[in-house]
Structure 1
Amino acid sequence: MHGVRVLIAPDSFGSSLTADEAAQAIAGAWRATAPHDEVTVCPLSDGGPGFVATLHSSLGGELLPVTVTSPVGEPVPAVMLLVGTTAYLESAQAVGLPLVPALQRDPTRTSSRGVGELLAAALDAGARRVVVGLGGSATNDAGAGTLVSLARALGVGGLGDVLDAGGGALGAVTADDLVGLRELRDRLRGIELLVATDVDVPLLGLHGASAGFAPQKGATPEQAQELERALGHLAHAATTALGDAVRPDLLAGARATSATSRLTALPGAGAAGGLGFVLALLGGRLVPGAVVVADAVGLDALIADHDVVVTGEGRFDWQSLHGKVAAEVASRALAHAVPTVVLAGEVLVGRRELSAAGITAAYAVGETPEQVSAALAAPAQTLAARAARVARTWSR
């Protein structure tokens, strides 16, 4: 009897399961339920937590330990992946939400300085190409803290301490606080900076860094509005400070406001509390993190060699359709006429949206508040149980 060839390619399930743990839980349950099926495991990442580990398993390379500063000023361990002269960094290791105790979660005060320290460490290690994964942050400072710590490490002055005081302080930024920004950008001119974003949202607006994500990091509705204004002020001040360096069309008389709009509207500028914006400001090129990882692991060839692909994440909602792993997997699978099945802790997307994204079916581990609580208490076991039921549906 010939079984179904199944590719298991999930992202991490929040802080409950790494991508590899989730993949192994699904695969183990599937093999036990449908032993004739051929099951292949391929953990993925969207640039958020697990980005470096996923790439290391596919690319090899050298893992170098680094100590950086957490969003609340504590030293925390991180690691960079060095493959030749390319360094892969994971912003979540420096500014991830789990690094901030629940009672201290306040995105008006947390700083992204640790990401600047990661970047400086990559340059110290001799990297000429730096790929930074963005996602899962506790910060909402548009990367202002990153600017300060990177400038200090490179010996660049002229950046005010207000940039390192959290997103809520950015409404007070003046031109004097950004005098060194042009020199910092110039110092990075010889480095290829690739920014792998976990979502394709802009810096500002309804689905931007503050309105769309700050509440998950502990912000009240009033604080989210305050952060929106503060980040808008910083964006205008920063593009004004850089002047011609970021103006899109000098011959047409473009002004700094045009550059502000262009950079704040970039897909991914709002990723990781706006870190995408500042890294673009420094010359970085923003790309979907799910694309970077999928290309690195050879996902297209794997999909083409299977009959069905199973992906997943902790919470499948509107964000999942904006640059996340499931959407990228479904897009690639559709090109090969391979059905995509989503397994998630919760599924909050309707059938019409699933169909539009190329997803054949989506199954929730928890469909009631009680089931969701049980899934959080025993994530691997409940995911495996759900995977077993899905295997009975999809196996021959």
Structure 2
Amino acid sequence: MRVLIAPDAFGSTLGPVQTATALGEGWAEGAPHDDLRLLPLSAGGPGFLDVLERAVGGTTVATTVSDPLGRDVPAAVLLVDEPDRRTAYLEASQASGLHLLSADERDPALTSTWGVGQLLETALQEGAGRIVVGVGGGATNDAGAGLLAALGAGPASALARGGLALRDAGADALAGLPDVVERFAAVEIVLATDDLIPLLGLSGTSAVDAPGKGATPQTAQDLEGALGHFTDLLTRALPHPPLDLLTGAPRRLDREPGAGAAGGLGYALLALGARQAGAVSEVLRVTGFDVAAAGSDLVVTATGRLDWTAVRGSVVSGVAEATMATGRPAVVVAGELLVGRRETMSMGLAGCYAVADHPREVEAMVADPVATLRARAARVARTWSPAR
């Protein structure tokens, strides 16, 4: 049997490539007669660049950027030369990822996206005519203010001290924004995310995502106010605000789908002229997933946690939908399975298998994710591909 193994990252412990390798080793143990192909995928978070480099090659430019607290960390820009332009792929989490902070350092009131701006600057200096920014797994909630400061839109003292400090930003804090927008005017920027939440409001980034990054309810409320003040400043500083095609009135960028992605990082990119595109669909396209799935008898994907948030806009849902179009079955191996059969059937999955069903198994999975994932993959392989 021809099996395509196309997983996302396995939580925060294994990246997509490591997950695919562990699944492949387990499957080979359970069904050694099968023909396996590994095709790791990503939703724009950690591992985004590894997945794309594996698929399309290109040139990796190593650099050093600031992490969410201003410390130097290694990062990279992937450059792919196309017939008519150079595309740069960026992984925002290399500079702003939650995984860069210890548990007691996580505070979205203080963290900054300055390092993501440094990645954009590197891509621009390398001659990119198209910049694709994968966002996800971020530790920030500053509406991309740090990113804009790193590009020269305003002083770091006002914009790069975290989201909460934005409430004190003065009227001239974004005086350099017109020049920054002009520098990127000829560059196509793609905000690669499937997180379509707005910046502000009850369904905005401060209310929905900040608590998972360490914010208390009061901090989340304070961040909402600070980001509201920042949007007022940016709206006044933006030289040519985009217009609604129907009404001709200026569009509210803070209400655009994806503006709240990665703590509002999407908002700053939209201000630079970015267009939003699904990260999963972009990765599926670049990796040639449709062709690979059509040439397989079974597709196996994986994720660390399959809950209601993964029903749409995730690698699992993207794989299930694309595989269904080929008429092939798709199954998922999840660290934890927190949705019922009705939800998984609606996604188009033919089978769902949890690595951990009980607290004791969760502890074992966290202690040794590779071994537990391999063992589960071997059992699933014996179910779907019995020995000859």
Give the TM interval when normalised to the shorter protein. over 0.9
For normalisation by structure 2, the TM-score amounts to 0.93
Secondary structure of the 2:339 match is coil
Structure 2 residue aligned with 1:126: 127
Q: Relative to structure 1, is the Cα distance of residues 40 and 158 closer, same or farther in structure 2, using a 3 angstrom cutoff?
A: closer
Which residue of structure 2 aligns with residue 154 of structure 1? none
Distance (Å, rounded) in 2 between the aligned partners of 1:87 and 1:253: 33
Match of 2:357 in 1: 367
Q: How does 1:78-93 map to 2 (within 5 A)?
A: 78-84=75-81, 85-93=86-94
Q: CA RMSD in A?
A: 1.9
Please point out which of 235, 240, 243 is paired with 1:239: 235
Answering whether residue 26 of structure 2 is matched by residue 29 of structure 1, we say yes
- Structure 1 205/90 Cα, relative in aligned 2: closer, same or farther at 3 Å? same
Structure 1 portions without partners, runs of 5+: 152-156
2: distance between equivalents of 1:339 and 1:204?
A: 40
Could you say which residue in structure 2 is the equivalent of 1:196? 192
Q: Which residue of 1 aligns with 2:265?
A: 275
Say if 2:317 is the partner of 1:316: no
Task: Name which of 32, 53, 58 aligns with 2:55.
Answer: 58
Matched, 1:136 2:137: yes
Superposition pairs for residues 242-257 of structure 1, below 5 Å?
A: 242=238, 244-249=240-245, 252=247, 254-255=249-250
- The answer to whether the 8 A contact 2:201-2:207 is kept is yes
The alignment status of 1:42 with 2:39, answered yes or no, reads yes
Per the TM alignment, residue 387 of structure 1 is displaced from its structure 2 partner at its CA by: 1.2
Q: What is the distance in 1 between the residues matched to 2:142 and 2:102?
A: 18
Q: 1:62-97: per-residue Cα shift (whole Å, max 9, x none)?
A: 111100011111011101111122111111111111
The alignment status of 1:77 with 2:78, answered yes or no, reads: no
Query: Shift of residue 270 of structure 1?
Result: 1.9
Distance 2:325 2:64 in 1: 42
Tell me the distance in 2 between the aligned counterparts of 1:198 and 1:53. Answer: 19
Query: What TM-score results when the alignment is normalised by the length of structure 1?
Result: 0.91
**Contact 2:30–2:377 (8 Å) recurs in 1:** no
Give the secondary-structure state (helix, strand or coil) at the position aligned to 2:10.
coil
* Aligned with 1:302 (options 292, 297, 302): 292
Q: Secondary structure of 1:194's partner? A: strand
**Unpaired runs of at least 5, structure 2:** none
* Deviation (angstroms), 1:290: 1.1
Q: Does 1:377 align with 2:370?
A: no
Amino acid at match of 1:356: S
Q: What letter matches 1:71 in structure 2?
A: P
TM superposition shift of 1:246: 2.2
- Determine which structure has the larger helix proportion and give its number: 1
Q: 1:309 offset after TM fit, Å?
A: 1.0
Q: Kindly state the Cα deviation for residue 253 of structure 1 after the two structures are TM-superposed.
A: 5.9
The aligned counterpart of 2:150 is 149
Q: Is 2:353 aligned against 1:357? A: no
2:150–2:156 CA contact under 8 A, matched in 1: no
Checking the alignment, whether the CA contact within 8 Å between 1:160 and 1:178 is kept in structure 2 is no
Q: SS of the counterpart of 1:176? A: coil
Aligned match of 2:336: 346
Write the distance in 1 (CA, Å) between the matches of 2:88 and 2:240. Answer: 29
Which amino acid is the alignment partner of residue 320 of structure 2? A
8 Å CA contact 1:239, 1:246 repeated in 2 = no
Counterpart secondary structure, 2:173:
helix
Alignment length, in residue pairs? 382
1:213 aligns with 2:198: no
Q: Which amino acid aligns with 1:254?
A: A
Tell me the residue number matched to 2:176. Answer: 180
Cα distance in 2, alignment partners of residues 286 and 174 from structure 1:
29
CA contact (8 A) 1:142 1:276 kept: yes
Q: Aligned partners of 2:151 and 2:269: how far apart in 1?
A: 11
CA distance in 2, matches of 1:109, 1:43: 33
The offset of 1:160, in angstroms, is 6.5
Distance 1:228 1:356, change over 3 A: farther
* Contact in 2 for aligned 1:9/1:43 (Cα 8 Å): yes
Q: Secondary structure at the match of 2:303?
A: strand
Residue 178 of structure 1 aligns to a residue whose secondary structure is coil
Amino acid across the alignment from 2:217: P
1:243, distance to aligned residue in structure 2 (A)? 6.0
Deviation at 1:264, TM superposition (A): 2.6
Question: Tell me, what secondary structure is at the counterpart of 1:245?
Answer: coil
Contact 2:16 2:47 in 1 (8 A): yes
Q: Distance in 2 between matches of 1:314 and 1:14?
A: 4
Inter-partner Cα distance in structure 2 for 1:74 and 1:281 = 26
Question: CA separation in 2, counterparts of 1:75 and 1:62?
Answer: 22
The percentage of counterpart residues that share the same residue type is 50
Quick check: 348-357 or 99-108, which moved more?
A: 348-357
Alpha-carbon separation, structure 2, partners of 1:34 and 1:214: 43
1:106-125 to 2 correspondences below 5 Å: 106-125=107-126
- 1:391 aligns to 2:381 (yes or no): yes
Q: Deviation of residue 124 (structure 1)?
A: 1.2
